[in-house]
Amino acid sequence: MTVGDEAKILAMAPPQEIGVRCGARFTTYPELFEHAGHAAQGLSELGIGAGDRVAVLLRNSIEFLEASIATVPLGAGAVPLNWHCSGEELAYMLADSGARVLIAHDNLWSTVSESVPDGVTLVIVPSDDADMDIRPPAGALLWRDWLASGRSWGATLENAPLSIIYTSGTTGQPKGVVRTVPDDAKREAVRAKLASVFGIGTGERTLIPAPLYHSAPNGYAHAAAIREMDMTLMKRFDPEDFLALVAERRVTVVQMVPTMFVRLLALPDEVRSRYDLSSLRWVVHGAAPCPPNIKLAMIRWLGPIVTEYYGSTETGPITFCTSQEWLAHPGTVGRPLEGAVVKVLDAEGGELGPGESGEIYMWLDVWPDFTYAGDAAKRRAVEREGLVSCGDIGYLDEDGFLYLNDRRSDIVISGGVNIYSIEIEDCLLSLAAVRDCAVFGVPDDEYGEALAVHLELEDGATLTAEAVREHVRSHLAAYKAPRVVEFSDSLPREDSGKIFKRRLREPYWAGRDRPI
């Protein structure tokens, strides 16, 4: 399929028809919810009920929404899994979440075929581009059989826990964020807050270019479905396809990450000018800090419709800024939303004044509380006086605008995806030739940051850069393999013996603003 072909296929659907599109497929909302009801009945017959968890290993698709919504009337929780992860990583999340059912695309299930915990029922969903030779494993159930059953769960589709999203944590292992079930008043307050930040509303037309296993696009898509907004799901982000879809579907609101901005701006002027983007009224971005030059270029191109939020999977959106506010305060991630509290604290927990950098603690009053799956101690460790930290360092200015300038933890944000360095370091330390290593982020014009590793080898040991990358790929997701691999006789250390990562990182960032 060539660039723009997906948009041309989607444009064949009657423009007045409202529903969900993905590739060449289309469904109306009545059909979507009917299918979700059939799947809910199927899950119920498998014994899924309140408090149970259903893992979802699906690419962006109509079935992703149907499977997630199917858990709602049962009081169960969907657990979206990053299908880029290795079998080992997926096995950890399946076991940690306690998922009793795994719903997977037929060309993805093999990734975890050797690692699915005992007692987990596998449900196979056919993918549009699956190899015809793919056959479901013995004992697996078929998604289409559920949809064809005609049996439907009769309860409301709106009262259940939010999806359980796995996010990187301070131990290096992913953490499942499990939110408490909000009451009706809090649920409506959350929906109103999300609508104000993300531009969600009945009659809007949206395009979702990011993977639904991530927190923000996942919540965004479900909020849009509740309001039955016309929705187009991209299977993967392509910059010119994105522009073509906006023009063809007359998209009004969209949520993005800075890496997408970089790719759009890299298109030649004659390509960008080819598409009518005048329908857009709201472009909101988050997930990773946006380099100021990229943000300014997007505002100049699209006009003052580019907005930004800051928060985390645990806290939801906390700050927000318009184009006008950002132009008046370049580099800010915004001011606290109504009902949000942001404090900058020193190491002892004392509150710092304007311009003083410290760890950022925050909370939004209407956001449901949370814990981490199977580990309440981790939850307590990130809280001070009712506020939660996701490890960022920053400061507030005199006008109350928040800025980020460092991270307490060594999370690398590449293309809006959090990559935890300790996980990769632990993987590399399993190599006999490696005495010690340090993984950190270095500049990347497209992704914001790329992974680098400096290694100290055992005396007499030899190792190649490609062997280092291949070792990581064999145990972790391929995108966690470091782009830069350097070998050192000795790594700089603090008096405590801890590697001084800042000294390793500084030469790469000399003369550049680190996008953190």
CATH code for the domain in which residue 217 is found: 3.40.50.980
One domain for residues 112 and 226: no
Q: Tell me, what's the pLDDT at 425?
A: 86
pLDDT at 495: 45
Taking the C-alpha atoms of residue 303 and residue 319, their distance in angstroms, rounded to an integer, is 21
Query: Average per-residue pLDDT in the chain?
Result: 86
Q: Which residue has the higher pLDDT, 447 or 411?
A: 447
Say what the pLDDT of residue 283 is.
97
Higher pLDDT, 329 or 375: 329
- Tokens 């800051």 correspond to 310
CA gap 308, 310 in Å, rounded: 7
**What's the N-to-C CA distance of the chain in angstroms?**
36
More confident residue, 418 or 306: 306
When pLDDT is cut at 50, 70 and 90, the band that residue 448 belongs to is confident
DSSP 18-80: -EEEETTEEEEHHHHHHHHHHHHHHHHHTT--TT-EEEEE--SSHHHHHHHHHTTTTT-EEEE
Amino acid in position 59 = R
The half-sphere exposure of 191 on its side-chain side, counting CA atoms within 13 A, is 17
Number of H helices, E strands in the chain: 16, 28
Q: Is there a contact between 43 and 54 (Cβ–Cβ < 8 Å)? A: yes
Please say if the pLDDT value at position 52 is more than 60.
yes
Residue where a domain terminates, one of 119, 153, 181: 181
For the ranges 118-127, 275-284, 288-297, 484-493, the lowest mean pLDDT is seen at 288-297
Per-residue pLDDT at 31 exceeds 80: yes
pLDDT of residue 168: 57
Q: What mean pLDDT comes out for the span 276-301?
A: 90
Residues 240 and 201 in one domain: yes
Q: Is residue 320 part of a domain?
A: no
Total domains, the chain:
3
Confidence at 21, pLDDT banded by 50, 70, 90: very high
Tell me the pLDDT tens digit for each residue of 338-376.
999 999 999 889 999 999 988 999 999 989 889 888 788
Do 38 and 137 lie in one domain? The reply is: yes
- Residue 407: per-residue pLDDT: 65
Does 130 score more than 60 pLDDT? no
**Whether residues 79 and 190 fall in one domain:** no
pLDDT, greater one: 245 or 513? 245
How much is the CA Rg of the chain, to the nearest whole Å? 23
- List the domain range (segments joined by +) for residue 205: 1-23+183-288
- Asked if residue 175 and residue 195 are part of one domain, the reply reads no
Do residue 227 and residue 175 come from a single domain?
Answer: no
Q: Model confidence over 171-217: pLDDT tens digits? A: 457 888 988 887 878 888 888 888 999 999 989 999 999 999 988 89
28 — pLDDT class (breaks 50, 70, 90): very high
What pLDDT score does 329 carry?
95
Q: How confident is the model at residue 123, as a pLDDT?
A: 94
CATH code where residue 481 lies: 3.30.300.30
The per-residue pLDDT for 516 is 40
Same-domain status, 14 and 49: no
pLDDT tens-digit map of 243-268: 999 999 999 999 998 878 888 988 99
Cβ-Cβ contacts under 8 Å for 282 (sequence gap 6 or more): 198, 199, 252, 253, 254, 305, 307
Does any domain span residue 363? no
Contacts of 92 (CB under 8 A, 6+ apart): 173, 174
What's this model's pTM, rounded to 2 decimal places?
Answer: 0.81
Statement: residue 159 has pLDDT above 80: no
Residue 9 within a domain: yes
- Is the pLDDT reported for residue 11 higher than 50? no
Write down the residue that tokens 């890299």 correspond to. 266
CB 333 within 8 A of CB 310: yes
| Stretch 140-151: mean pLDDT | 84
How high is the pLDDT of residue 18?
A: 92
Exposure letters 233-263 (e unless 16+ CB within 10 A, then b): bbbebbbbbbbbbbbbbebbbbbbbbbbbbb
Contact 224, 18 (CB under 8 A): no
What is d(CA 434, CA 421) in angstroms, rounded to the nearest whole number?
Answer: 16
Q: How far apart are CA 249 and CA 231, in angstroms?
A: 9
Length of the chain: 516
pLDDT at 313 over 70: yes
The answer to whether residue 306 sits within a structural domain is no
Q: Which among 164, 181, 198 is the end of a domain?
A: 181
Do 235 and 101 share a structural domain?
A: no
Task: Indicate if the pLDDT at residue 135 is higher than 80.
Answer: no
* Cβ atoms 308, 316 nearer than 8 A: no
Clarify whether residues 159 and 206 are in a common domain.
Answer: no
Domain boundary pick from 288, 303, 328: 288
Q: Which of 213, 165, 196 is nearest to 373 (CA)?
A: 165
Domain co-membership, 111 together with 245: no
Q: Do residues 202 and 66 share a domain?
A: no
More confident call, 514 vs 304: 304
Residue range 234-245: mean pLDDT, rounded: 94
- Asked if residue 194 and residue 147 are part of one domain, the reply reads no
> What's the rounded Cα separation, in Å, for the pair 396 and 335?
9
Consecutive H or E run containing 10:
helix 5-10
Lowest-confidence pick of 153-167, 252-266, 313-327: 153-167
Q: What is the DSSP letter of 309?
A: E
pLDDT at 2: 46
Triad 400, 402, 406: Cα angle to 5°: 150
